[in-house]
Structure 1
Amino acid sequence: MLKKFYKIIIIPYTLFLLYLMFLGMGRTQYEDNLLTVAPVISTINFIKGCISWKDIIMIVAGNVVMFIPFGFLGWIFPRCKELKSLLFSFISAITIVEALQYFTRMGIFEVDDIILNTFGVFLGWMICRFLENKFPRFVF
């Protein structure tokens, strides 16, 4: 039951995330191509310069939580049930998306985003395994 719902919702969800990453939240095109490649430093600088805890939670936690559903991709692509394959596929895809943000100047290529998004996928994978083990009849 849960798998069927997931298969229906993941494509619109992915399109919604892509919209947010390129056009949402008042994004405009930057004048220059921007990138931050020093892991963790841009997130720390963002937190230091942020006035509101709400903004910190929305951006930092959002970069994790919004990607949890991709940890369930093994339900659609059997080879993604294995964590190594899932992470390799996801990191490849999210790096392409970050590069597109860079080249279109509709965002910043940030290594921290890749790290946080990948952590979200890992959490999703852990949740998926838990659900499959604890509630097998509900999942299938």
Structure 2
Amino acid sequence: MKKYFGLLINLYTIILIYCMFFGFGREPIGYHEPRLYSFDTINRFIYGDYDFFTIYHNLIDNILVFIPYGFLGWLYPSLQSYPKLLISFIGGISLIEFLQWFSQLGFADVDDILLNTTGMTIGFILSKLHQKLMDSSDKISNFILKIIN
């Protein structure tokens, strides 16, 4: 899986960027102020009068679609460090939020950055768990081979 990850994450990123700027029938929305207050949008969706699909799409999707980016350490060894991955990710996602605002093809929202970063963090934790499982699996396999031989 790791050897195909580079190709898959690049294709995934292209599709995701397309969706963030042009997908779902997006059209320029005109000038609007960036949403810079933490948890403002999140609270609006949680406590507002929205249907489940709207809440799911705006909160859960913003977490789930960024989980794969927690595995970037597979491609870039320097990103196996959480602080380096976090700084790189927040920089990249902030640039995308700015470009959405600047192009008027989306909203610049600090809550999106928080939710997207949560997704990446979940992915990072999963990548570390995967590595521990693989290391344990190797140790067990080596132990069994020593016993058999």
Aligned equivalents of 2:12, 2:49: Cα separation in 1: 28
Residue aligning to 2:36? 37
Report SS of the residue matched to 1:73.
helix
Deviating more after overlay: 55-64 vs 128-137: 128-137
Structure 2 residue 110 is the aligned partner of structure 1 residue 111: yes
* Aligned positions of 1:42-121 closer than 5 A: 42-121=41-120
Letter in 2 for 1:70: Y
| Shift of residue 105, structure 1, vs aligned partner | 0.4
Higher strand share: 1
Deviating more after overlay: 126-135 vs 25-34: 25-34
| Moved beyond 4 Å, runs of 4+ | none
| Shift of residue 54, structure 1, vs aligned partner | 1.9
Query: Sequence identity of aligned pairs in percent?
Result: 34
Residue aligning to 2:10? 11
Residue aligning to 1:25? 24
Deviating more after overlay: 41-50 vs 6-15: 41-50
Aligned equivalents of 2:131, 2:120: Cα separation in 1: 16
Superposed CA RMSD in Å reads 1.5
Larger Rg: 2
Deviations 1:118-140 (A, max 9, x none): 011100000000011102479xx
- Ranges in structure 2 where 5+ consecutive residues have no aligned partner: 139-149
Aligned equivalents of 1:13, 1:50: Cα separation in 2: 32
| Alignment coverage as a number of residue pairs | 137
Report SS of the residue matched to 1:37.
coil
TM-score between both structures, scaled by the size of structure 1: 0.92
| Shift of residue 47, structure 1, vs aligned partner | 3.4
Aligned equivalents of 2:112, 2:127: Cα separation in 1: 22
